[in-house]
Every structure is written in C-alpha cells, then in structure tokens.
Amino acid sequence: MKLLENKTAVITGAARGIGKAIALKYAQEGANVAFIDLNYDESAIETEKELQSFGTKCKAYAGNVTNSEAMNAIIEDVIANFGKIDILVNNAGITRDKLLMRMSEEDWDIVLNVNLKSAFIMTKAVQSYMIKQRNGVILNMSSVVGISGNAGQANYSSSKAGLIGFTKSIAKELGSRNVRCNAIAPGFIETVMTKQLPEEVITDYLKKIPLRKSGQAEDVANLATFLASDMANYITGQAISVCGGLQI
C-alpha cells in the first residue's frame, strides 16, 4: 500500500520548486492533491498535468495566500470536490533579500505576509475540518536561516523563525484532536532561485556543508511524505532540518 493512499493534501506554492516536488511525491504515494499558486499560469498547468499522470485526483487553484477570504473559499471548494482534507503543506514563500539598512517597510511586510501570515490563514481555514475528523497533518516550510539567521535576510529569517514558533503552538493546541504539526527547515536546496546566485556564493555555501553538496527538492519532498504519513504518527511540534549538516 502506498504511504498516502486515499489521503487528500492541500499544498501552497506548488507550481514549481520544492512545493511541486512535494505535490508530485504525494501523488506518487497515492494522495489526491489540491495545490494553490498565485496564478494559473504555464507552470501551474504543467504541474497539474504531471500530477494527473499518477492517476489520482488533482486540481490547481489560483489565489493570493495572504487573502483570507479567497483562501477560505478555496478550502470550501476543496472540501466540496475532494470530500476532506488530511494534509496541509504551508509552502508558499518569497524573498526580498537586502541588508537591514536598505530594507524597506514594504520588503519586510510582504515577506512576513506571504511566508508567515499565509500559514496562519491556511491553518485557521482547515483546522475545523481536521478537528471534526479527529485527524490531520500540518507541515510548515521553514528554513535553516529561521534557526541560525542570515545577514541580508532579516525579513526572511524572521518569517521562517516565526513558522517554527507557530508550529510548536499549533502542535500543542491541536494535539489532543490527533492533529499533528511539524516544520521542515531546508538548507541549500537546488532550485531556480538558488541557481541564479553568483558562483562564489554557491561555492561558499558548499564549503560550509559537511556533506559537501547541495540538496535536491526531492530530499525535502521525501521528509514531507514521511511526516504526512502514518509512519510519523507520534511526531509533532518538531522542526526538522534537511540541510546536509549545514545547521551543525
């Protein structure tokens, strides 16, 4: 039997990158997948087609994850079309990297809103369904910089650190209803975003990683699959790094 057979997952920011890798892995393991991205563009359409190839039910939604009214409507539509929600992955995220002296208030607000407030909105939207069925898994995509901080990323680091505190709080609030909540803290993962970094920055990162290599989106997806499965039914309130030892 597949690890996520007959489960229904909602994933934000899944048209590309780590979110897409998680969506594909979930579908491969038997889950029905509803994913949300800002636009129903070429990437979202391609991801939707790839998910359909696994023979499970899937649907792409377009919407701003910082808009609670829009997200509540999407969650209601997921319930109507899929019948339930077993897994929520709060993966949507952006960066606006600058040193604090150059960071605008807008740079701060948009990163905190997309990365942290969206997790609040989505979790609030699904919790009543999970509480009612007395079962559910919530995964929040944090980062190693949310644990260690990073120069030039005060906004991003703060949002990711906030997700860890949010994770622990929700784990305590919903644990008695058999709803688990964990955070995943990726390190240097190869994505479109990291490939655009200067070569000297990439080289410097690799020197700091004990495994001397960058991670792949599939490495994060593998952990997300385990944590969403019944194999992890006694794990909650944790922030687990996928970083090749970078956090050490």
Active site amino acids:
156
CB contact at 8 A, 138 and 236 = no
Q: What is the DSSP string of the chain?
A: --TTTT-EEEEES-SSHHHHHHHHHHHHTT-EEEEEES---HHHHHHHHHHHTTTS-EEEEE--TT-HHHHHHHHHHHHHHHS---EEEE---------GGG--HHHHHHHHIIIIIHHHHHHHHHHHHHHHHT-EEEEEE--THHHH--TT-HHHHHHHHHHHHHHHHHHHHHGGGTEEEEEEEE-SB--HHHHTS-HHHHHHHHHH-TT-S-B-HHHHHHHHHHHHSGGGTT--S-EEEESTTTT-
Please tell me the distance from the alpha carbon of residue 32 to that of residue 27, in angstroms, as a whole number.
6
* CA gyration radius, the chain: 17
